[in-house]
Structure 1
């Protein structure tokens, strides 16, 4: 008979393995356990020892505690319907840059803030954004030259950028409008 805790641990091991993009064989090899044992753990057929869980955690590069979190009851989920993001006045926001917050999430010590940024018709280039964290940009429309430190990159709809936001960055030139892009900022809580 399967134990409820073995089922939960097994489901969490499998979910973490899949999220890491690791095959079962690969995880078994890096963890130093047999593939059949890993399969039985993931299916909730056995209750793994603490030593085995430590090996699997090392193979996944996660703390052992991740196997015991009740992931089904987590509430860090955000759904924003199309056109219903929160238009925010950001402190220090550049004139005519419209920020629509599409969600806000804290997972552990990681903050994720996705924005739909739209440059209004009178928006001017601005290259001195600088803040902690990582930033991901996905351009939806328009063509611009984007400045990141000493680099200037021409980008257009469908292009993306990912970078450390501690360097000076921003739109250096606007070539065709309208300009809109998805901006996701990832920061760590102290």
Structure 2
């Protein structure tokens, strides 16, 4: 004898039908893994944005605020996960202090180096400097938007000191090789001896206020972001 089916008290499940626009967005999201760049162009732009941001010393939060986007959106742009609009990229470029075209520069892929034999650096002397202030330019390297210049500086005991000045858009590195120096960094004075180093952010004022009894020699490297 056939058993009578009893109706379930629960509603019959039915497939949920999404709106066409939402269904298309979900389909695209499934096809594009979040961990992979959206395209080669998006990845290139993202790499440029990140490189320029790091060179300028700006934090992700500050750049995002200046560009009028969220920090998470900036992170996705830098990783190439989204194709930002031209208006957004223009605001990012303004926040970085560069032209919009700079974000689309294709890396050359060249291997660049600069070799200077001992004692063969370019001697540079400014008007008014005394003989005991000797500076040698040890080379110049341009890689993408970054320019690096190492200098070997020797200050004799009678050399004239120079006051603190600001190097706009330049990150500076000082490594003391010999002697002693008293350096002015903003409103502070830091004493350096052989083996001591300084790393100065962009726009930080730096100068030499005093030199020890013996000649002082130090390596001075500047990192400049070209626009």
With over 3 angstroms needed to count, the CA separation of the structure-2 counterparts of 1:51 and 1:182, relative to structure 1, is same
Gaps of 5+ in 1: 148-152
- 2:121 counterpart of 1:86: yes
Q: Which has the larger radius of gyration?
A: 2
Give the aligned partner of residue 182 of structure 1. Answer: 219
Match of 2:96 among 39, 60, 67: 60
Superposition map of 1:93-112 within 5 A: 94-95=130-131, 97-105=133-141
Report the Cα offset of residue 108 of structure 1: 9.7
Task: Indicate conservation of the 8 Å contact 1:144/1:155, yes or no.
Answer: yes
Give the aligned partner of residue 13 of structure 1. Answer: 49
**What is the Cα-based RMSD across aligned positions, in Å?**
4.6
Task: Indicate conservation of the 8 Å contact 1:11/1:42, yes or no.
Answer: yes
Structure with bigger strand share is: 1
Give the aligned partner of residue 73 of structure 1. Answer: 108
Task: Indicate conservation of the 8 Å contact 1:6/1:46, yes or no.
Answer: yes
Match of 1:48 among 84, 87, 92: 84
Partners of 1:64 and 1:45 in 2: CA distance: 19
Match of 1:126 among 155, 159, 167: 159
Partners of 2:65 and 2:126 in 1: CA distance: 50
Task: Indicate conservation of the 8 Å contact 2:116/2:139, yes or no.
Answer: no
Equivalent residue pairs, number: 174
